[in-house]
Amino acid sequence: MDFRTDDHTLALIEQVRGFLDEHIRPAEAVLEQQYAAAADPFDVEPPIKEELKAKARAAGLWNLFLPDPKWGAGLTNLQYAPLAEITGHSIDLAPETFNCSPPDAGNMELLALYGTEEQQARWLRPLLDGEIRSCFAMTEPAVASSDPNNLQTTIVRDGDDYVINGHKWWTTGILRPHTKLIIVMGVSNPDAPAGQQHSMVLVPRDTPGIEIRRSLPVFGFPHHAYGGHGEVVFADVRVPAANVLGPEGGGFAVAQARLGPGRIHHCMRLLGHCERAIELMCRRAHERVTFGTPLAEQGVVQEWIADARMDVEQARLLVLKTAWLMDTVGAKGARVEISAIKVVVPKITARIVDRAIQAFGGAGVSNDLPLANYYVEARYLQIGDGPDEVHRRAVARRELRKYAG
Amino acid sequence: MDFRTDDHTLALIEQVRGFLDEHIRPAEAVLEQQYAAAADPFDVEPPIKEELKAKARAAGLWNLFLPDPKWGAGLTNLQYAPLAEITGHSIDLAPETFNCSPPDAGNMELLALYGTEEQQARWLRPLLDGEIRSCFAMTEPAVASSDPNNLQTTIVRDGDDYVINGHKWWTTGILRPHTKLIIVMGVSNPDAPAGQQHSMVLVPRDTPGIEIRRSLPVFGFPHHAYGGHGEVVFADVRVPAANVLGPEGGGFAVAQARLGPGRIHHCMRLLGHCERAIELMCRRAHERVTFGTPLAEQGVVQEWIADARMDVEQARLLVLKTAWLMDTVGAKGARVEISAIKVVVPKITARIVDRAIQAFGGAGVSNDLPLANYYVEARYLQIGDGPDEVHRRAVARRELRKYAG
Amino acid sequence: MDFRTDDHTLALIEQVRGFLDEHIRPAEAVLEQQYAAAADPFDVEPPIKEELKAKARAAGLWNLFLPDPKWGAGLTNLQYAPLAEITGHSIDLAPETFNCSPPDAGNMELLALYGTEEQQARWLRPLLDGEIRSCFAMTEPAVASSDPNNLQTTIVRDGDDYVINGHKWWTTGILRPHTKLIIVMGVSNPDAPAGQQHSMVLVPRDTPGIEIRRSLPVFGFPHHAYGGHGEVVFADVRVPAANVLGPEGGGFAVAQARLGPGRIHHCMRLLGHCERAIELMCRRAHERVTFGTPLAEQGVVQEWIADARMDVEQARLLVLKTAWLMDTVGAKGARVEISAIKVVVPKITARIVDRAIQAFGGAGVSNDLPLANYYVEARYLQIGDGPDEVHRRAVARRELRKYAG
Amino acid sequence: MDFRTDDHTLALIEQVRGFLDEHIRPAEAVLEQQYAAAADPFDVEPPIKEELKAKARAAGLWNLFLPDPKWGAGLTNLQYAPLAEITGHSIDLAPETFNCSPPDAGNMELLALYGTEEQQARWLRPLLDGEIRSCFAMTEPAVASSDPNNLQTTIVRDGDDYVINGHKWWTTGILRPHTKLIIVMGVSNPDAPAGQQHSMVLVPRDTPGIEIRRSLPVFGFPHHAYGGHGEVVFADVRVPAANVLGPEGGGFAVAQARLGPGRIHHCMRLLGHCERAIELMCRRAHERVTFGTPLAEQGVVQEWIADARMDVEQARLLVLKTAWLMDTVGAKGARVEISAIKVVVPKITARIVDRAIQAFGGAGVSNDLPLANYYVEARYLQIGDGPDEVHRRAVARRELRKYAG
């Protein structure tokens, strides 16, 4: 066992951190202004995003998430982890700057793994170039979507087409102008055995029959930079049969390939939230004096800081070990570890950020600091991509299996 | 000791709950529409509010919070508690409907206790009639305002006037058109002994020199219905010396009289959040099926519900006992108990609501349910009106004094 | 509603507290010596116990727990609560001194409610006089005894006798010399409908066929003063049919009548543990200096003390309300509230005591203080008389029923 | 970074686990019998211990903890970690079987690092051979010993001797017959600068003037297998000046060298407690049925198991990383990480074990399972070797220093 970070990764860490400090943090206020200036912020693509992307690509910091060197940076998950973490410091800008933001990263991964050459040419190439954006329509309001067997959207073969009918929500990104592709999951083979009834299809955003009802806020945040979270109705939406992604009936397997990396990437970025929250809390602790003593010398605040540091060190090691497992035994072999970090990391992030908020008082709950937004991100991820209860169950069942019968 | 609720209160509970169900809940969507229709929601007073107030006043449900029958309903704190709790179910509408909403209720209490006849005629009367609104400017961004000794706003006597200079924030309500009065706390007698240096002055909203910089959101919520939370600069704001509220130099004592009831009223309403969250969680538990079983039959969800019920029963009893203490020994005598509930109730509310959110998944973090807003309310109150750490300290110090030397 | 304690109870509180300070606390060391001097501490009845009992009876502080004035002090549960709490300060001595200790108190309650005149003459009278002790054999090692339907001990009618076969454990008190009576619960009517299959029978301790295998320690504590926790085998134990307690097949109903008061009495005493732990923690905080500051001025310790005070105030109110419910609607009507306090009180006691232990460091985990023993008591009661999970389930189910269908 | 365990360590893991299963677990009952058979269990050295030691030494599993190949097995801390963890499964026997038990291991480490040749010949050799045992007298009842500046025991030079006077407690191991050496820490140079006032001296157990007042139990456990925890008075205890260990006045530095490894070894063994507790809990979950369902299928129990697994995976990684740091930058460089695991591991162990206890009900709190003892071990270690509060402070201060002025 060896806990040393390799030199290539160390160099990348320095480069990404430098880029963040030099280019991205100063751009945060610019982004906010460009959204504020818009009549409808869901109707604009703020120019600052494109400027940053151009700079990042020029610096060679592009598609860092994609392990396949044919398409991306060719880093292992273990190498990508500290880079993704740094992007978590500036959640609205940094991930997209390096073309590593959800849901596009996961979608690109799918297209790289399962796309036909044509699909890759039409969708993957412009996504990798950061020219278009995409979204992923899986969750449905009417059913517990954490069990995909419950999904009710239908994808019915009709001649050379599929016809899609269904009601989705939390389709993140669908409200951005750049978004041109929706990957839709639904029931294509209702009579097949369980686990082989679903398919994914590629649906151009401008296909007739797609109605975006509204964008869902999260704790009051509209999440413009994410392209919102759409509630979407598909009414007789018709796409060519060639638009199926991966094998027909193979939607579950394809989804697993997407969700594993998606979940660990979320965790990596949340660790960045944690680190920035700790930094903010410490700086505040040095500056703020109550009852004659700086917060930094008060035992309760020291306890917050110590607990935060201990939580984040442990969680990061588990994330890194999980990344290493994905690199060595694959996402499927690391499935339960991914469930574990998916529970652990949002929980500690929420707790750490909550205490940083408390250290700041009123400023903490306002938008003068990124903390309220970090909290909401962490809270949302206790539900999104599978609620904690489902992931805990997966962890428990593997443990119990060791001693069964 | 007797845990039975008196008949008068029982009748009022029934009446208020009936009013809530019949008039207020249906109005929630109307309020939202009226705000949504406004170009700037801080620029409107939605007509639905006035309609509800007229109905409530006609029904005799008016100024329920004011124990002095000369001005208000003449209920004890113990009697008011369950009524305030019910208003917590519909936080944007119900408290104001009965003219019991913060910060006006606290301001009316101050004016009733300390106002001169002139002050009462000019400000208290229209407040009691629900014709104008008011706000309270105490917290400052530059200092730890939980220790009022730190406040830096100056109130300097100049001939027959006071001249106010200072920087406040979290001045809740200041952005509503109806708001006509600001009660400002600041240093008037810097050379007096500690505790006698501050005064409160009544400042008409339209006095020159008042600049509202912006409204602070809480998490992502702008809180239009509250009139926002203003950041306000007072630059050479001049009011007549007769506008001092209570004795010059008596600001601390006056503030204590305001904060005690203010804090317990918050707690009462939060209990209403808890009850509605439990109801929502139970209904969801009956309806939602995951992995073949309704949530209602799953042990983890049952544990959430049981813990919620146990938490809220205990917290309510402590709130009621504190109300009884205020009725029997006064707000000052109940000071430490008020600190205790100020810590306990927001904490359990946040926990209960958080679990209700989890039971709902995506809907829970959206605005389709009041839960995210309840959570933010409870979280904010771990900071507002004194952060938990300050109140815990008060509880600990009384306990420790019992065994000192 | 009225939170004032009545004068009669106030006078009793003063009397019991005075008795504790004057007679019981000084006797704690004596008790320890008398046990230490015994070759087998399970073989002695330390004389100090009898001396204290005589004094308490002379002072009129006797059988305080029994609400029926025909047999006991005639106090309501609400009145008894603060007295039982005080006995919790000195757990090995005080409850028995006032003849209020488990399991005898519960057994006396059963005999008073369900005993025939003969049973009362033979067993209840000497129990009320403190001359003999008794125990209650319900829990079985082989099954989840929290669901009494699982109990496997058989009570078979054979002519004019019952013949008992079974394996019990956690039969508290069975190892004391004074113990003369065992109340045994088992299946008497296996063919009856569920809920009517069990009976209780009175079994003289010296009946042939009773084998006490051993005493079970709790976290290393042998619990001599409790008469141990016996593992007992009943092999063809034969008693007259007249020894059935209550109706044959009525064991469940009888058990409920016993368990309700038993559980609330445990909670009352645990509150006494809490109060003494807080007192000890505060005294320690004043005396101990670390890193130049008394613990009393350190924020973390203040937080422990404040949380302890807030927890215990809330829990006590819920215990008192439950006692009031038992007085007004009966133990059955208060069933769910009893479940609630049975979860709440051991949990907060364990937490409070745990922190008091931490404040004392090494002394805390030793036996120089009662804290380790208090902790074990509280921990045990998260299992004994029904584990938390079963009681939480009861609370949740009532809550859910409100919104069913 | 690489999370793979090296082959040498894998082979040792298999060997140690095999030895545990084959030889140690069956010996647990034998040990208990041999103690039970003794008139005074502090007066015996159970023969089974010597038999196991002989077998382990013959198998080459001896002094595994000592990284210096001159004296011990020559394993790195990283390699020793999983082996020490396995010894945690059988806490009363396994560590000593491999001659790796505290406090001897720490004392041997000190003698290896700081002992003169003579000291090593007289004390280290027989300790390494498992022929004698030793103890470490540092903590004092009168002062907060977590800050060693507070220690009051005096070590006064008198001609060619030192004369020791002081009052110690929690001197673990002192009551075993085999214990021949006490390492005493005290003030030797009161006029030196802070940090250079203390020394350690080697005191033969049979030196006149040593009075063992008693053994302190932990909760109710007497800890015979540990040789008890002695309260000891040193009255004019005289040893040759040559018995100083390391430089005079260098006691702090020497203590640090001892405490670092001592603390991490405790953490490694606690992870073994966790693993055995999880195994026991899972087996119980499969066997026990309540309300018609095996515990293994109940969500609450699944949550306990999942949380346990997630906690232990994270904590182990932090222990391993700390071991790696000790191997690469030394114990001093890993000081804060050692503080972190010293807080984290006992906390999660206590929680995991507590839930395993709950899964077992009555059996859990008895001695039929190792769980109650594990709990006590974990609880004690939140105090022993520095209470959590001191270690949290160390973690917080390093964090805060990063952002200081």
CATH architecture of A134-245: Beta Barrel (2.40)
Predicted pLDDT at B198: 96
Q: Which of A120, A236, A223, A255 is nearest to A181 (CA)?
A: A120
Q: What is the pLDDT of residue D148?
A: 84
Say whether A306 and D396 touch across the interface (CB within 8 A). yes
Q: Which residue type occupies B188? A: S
- CB-nearest partner of B1 from C3, C393, C395: C3
- CA-to-CA separations, D158 to B53, D161, D191, in angstroms, rounded: 90, 5, 16
Q: What is the pLDDT of residues D291-304, one digit of tens each?
A: 889 999 999 999 99
Contact B358 A146 (CB under 8 A): no
Q: Do C3 and B321 touch (CB under 8 A)?
A: yes
| Domain residue extents for chain D | 7-115, 133-245, 252-401
The predicted pLDDT at position A37 comes to 95
Architecture of domain A252-401: Up-down Bundle (1.20)
pLDDT(A19) > 90: yes
pLDDT score at B298: 97
| Interchain contact A302–B (C-beta under 8 A) | no
Chain-chain contact of A221 with B220 (C-beta, under 8 angstroms): yes
Using the Cβ of B121 and the Cβ atoms of chain C, whether some distance falls under 8 Å is answered with: no
Give the DSSP H/E element, type plus range, for residue D215: strand D210-215
Q: Which residues of B touch C392 (CB under 8 A)?
A: 302-303, 306-307
Kindly identify which residue of chain A lies nearest to residue B361, measuring between CA atoms: A383
CB contact under 8 A, D303 and B298: no
Q: Is C317 on the interface with A (CB under 8 A)?
A: no
pLDDT at position C391: 97
Give me the pLDDT at residue C291, please: 85
CB atoms B376 and A147 under 8 Å = no
The pLDDT value given to residue A258: 82
Residue of C nearest to B391 (CA): C306
CB proximity list for B58: less than 8 A, separation 6 or greater: none
Give the confidence band of C258 by pLDDT, cuts at 50, 70, 90.
confident
Say what percent of chain C tops pLDDT 70: 100
In this predicted model, what pLDDT tens digit does every residue of D88-146 receive, in sequence order?
Answer: 999 999 999 999 999 999 999 999 999 999 999 999 999 999 999 999 999 999 999 88
CB spacing of B147 vs A383 below 8 angstroms: no
- For residue A16, the model assigns a pLDDT of 98
What number of other Cβ atoms are within 10 A of residue B190's Cβ? 10
Chain D CB within 8 Å of residue C137 CB: no
A148: confidence class by pLDDT, cuts 50, 70, 90: confident
Total-model pTM? 0.97
| Cβ neighbour number for residue C136 with a 10 Å cutoff | 27
Q: Which residues in A lie closer than 8 A to residue C299 (C-beta atoms)?
A: 298-301
Selecting from B218, B289, B365 the residue whose C-beta is nearest the C-beta of A218 gives: B365
Residue C147 has pLDDT above 90, yes or no: no
Q: Which residues of B are less than 8 Å from C1 in CB distance?
A: 2-6, 78, 320, 324
pLDDT of the residue at A196: 94
Pairs across A and B, CB distance < 8 A: 114
With 90 as the cut, is the pLDDT of residue C207 above it?
Answer: yes
What is the model's pLDDT at position D371? Answer: 98
**B46 Cβ contact partners less than 8 Å away, ≥ 6 residues apart:** B30, B31, B34, B35
Side-chain-side CA neighbours of residue D211 (13 Å): 9
A296 interface with D at CB cutoff 8 Å:
yes
| A405, pLDDT greater than 80 | no
Neighbours of C47 (CB within 10 A): 11
pLDDT at A364 over 80: yes
Q: Measured between CB atoms, which of A283, A313, A318 is closest to D313?
A: A318
Nearest CA in chain A to D308: A396
* Cα dihedral sign, D175-D181-D183-D186: positive
Using a CB-CB distance cutoff of 8 angstroms, which residues of chain D are in contact with residue B307? none
The phi, psi pair for A248, rounded to 5°, reads -60, 135
Q: What is the DSSP string of B351-362?
A: HHHHHHHHHHTH
Long-range CB pairs of B75-80 (<8 Å, 24+ gap) are: B75/B9, B75/B12, B76/B323, B76/B327, B77/B261, B77/B264, B77/B323, B77/B324, B77/B326, B77/B327, B78/B9, B78/B320, B78/B323, B78/B324, B78/B327, B78/C1, B79/B6, B79/B8, B79/B9, B79/B12, B80/B268, B80/B323
pLDDT of residue C405: 74
Instruction: Indicate if the pLDDT at residue C143 is higher than 80.
Output: yes
B146 contacts in chain A (CB < 8 Å): 290, 361
| Residue C375 token pair | 């902790």
Least confident range of A252-261, A337-346, B70-79, D37-46? A252-261
Q: What is the chain B residue with the closest CA to D303?
A: B300
Note whether B5 contacts C: Cβ–Cβ < 8 A: yes
Arithmetic mean of pLDDT, D23-33:
97
On whether any CB of chain A is under 8 Å from the CB of B216, the answer is yes
User: Does residue A88 carry a pLDDT above 90?
Assistant: yes
Asked if C340 reaches chain D (Cβ–Cβ under 8 Å), the answer is: no
Report chain C residues whose CB lies below 8 A from the CB of D382: 358
Which of A224, A232, A366, A375 to substitute to test the interface with B, most B CBs within 10 Å?
A366
Chain C nearest C-alpha distance from B7 (Å): 10
pLDDT at B257: 82
Q: What is the pLDDT of residue C342?
A: 98
The pLDDT score that the predictor gives to residue D10 is: 98
**Residue A79 is encoded by which pair of tokens?**
């190498």
b/e per residue, D323-354, with b = 16+ CB within 10 A?
Answer: bbbbbeeebeebbbbbbbbbbbbbbbbbbbbb
pLDDT per residue as tens digits for the range B146-180: 888 899 999 999 999 999 999 999 999 999 999 99
- Give the 3-state secondary structure of residue B239: strand
Structure confidence at residue A149 as a pLDDT band (50, 70, 90) = confident
- The answer regarding whether domain B133-245 maps to CATH 3.40.190.10 reads no
Mean pLDDT, range A81-108, rounded to an integer: 97
Mean pLDDT of A295-304: 98
CB contact under 8 Å between C396 and B309, yes or no, is yes
Give the pLDDT confidence score for residue C30 in this predicted structure: 97
Alpha-carbon span B168 to B231, nearest angstrom: 6
CB of C220 closer than 8 Å to CB of C162: no
Mean pLDDT of D216-244: 97
Contact criterion met (CB below 8 Å) for B304 and B355: yes
Chains that touch B (3 or more CB pairs under 8 A): A, C, D
Q: Is residue C260 very low, low, confident or very high in pLDDT (cuts 50, 70, 90)?
A: confident
Pick the residue from chain D with its C-alpha nearest to A285: D400
Query: CB contact, 8 Å: B306 with chain D?
Result: no
Q: Which two tokens stand for residue A393?
A: 């169950």
Cβ of C141 and D363 within 8 Å? yes
- CB contacts of D145 in chain C (<8 Å) are 361
Residue A290 with chain C: CB contacts under 8 Å: none
Task: Return the CATH number of the domain spanning residue range D7-115.
Answer: 1.10.540.10
CB contact D220 to C (< 8 Å): yes
User: Which residues of chain C make contact with B340, given a CB cutoff of 8 A?
Assistant: 306, 309-310, 313
Task: At B337, list the tokens.
Answer: 């108990």
| C170 → closest Cβ in D357, D362, D367 | D362
* Chain-chain contact of C395 with B310 (C-beta, under 8 angstroms): yes
Lowest pLDDT segment from A13-17, A131-135, B256-260, D114-118:
B256-260
Are the Cβ atoms of D324 and A3 closer than 8 angstroms?
A: yes
**Cα–Cα distance, B187 to B189 (Å, whole number):** 6
B285, B309, B315: residue with CB nearest C314: B315
Indicate the residue of D302, D395, D402 with minimum beta-carbon distance to A393: D302
Closest CB to B314: pick one of C278, C299, C317: C317
Contact yes or no for A310 and D5 at CB 8 A: no
Per-10-residue mean pLDDT for chain B, 405 residues long? 97 98 97 95 96 98 95 96 98 97 96 97 98 97 89 97 98 97 97 94 98 96 95 98 96 87 96 98 96 95 98 98 97 95 98 98 96 98 96 98 91
CB of B365 within 8 Å of a chain A CB? The answer is: yes
Q: Kindly tell me the burial class for residue B202, based on how many C-beta atoms sit within 10 Å of its own C-beta (0-12, 13-18, 19 or more).
A: buried
- Do strands D133-137 and C161-172 pair parallel, antiparallel, or not at all (unpaired)? unpaired
Set of chain A residues whose Cβ sits within 8 Å of the Cβ of D321: 3, 313, 317
Instruction: Provide the shortest C-alpha distance from residue C297 to chain A (in Å).
Output: 10
Q: Does D287 touch chain A (CB under 8 A)?
A: no
Is residue C388 over pLDDT 80? Answer: yes
Interface of D with C in 147-206 (CB under 8 A): 147, 169-170
Band of pLDDT at residue D380, cut at 50, 70 and 90: very high
- Under the banding of pLDDT at 50, 70 and 90, the label for residue D405 is confident
**pLDDT confidence band for C259 (50 / 70 / 90):** confident
Residue C329 pLDDT class (50, 70, 90 cuts)? very high
Give D66-80 pLDDT, tens digit per residue: 999 999 999 999 999
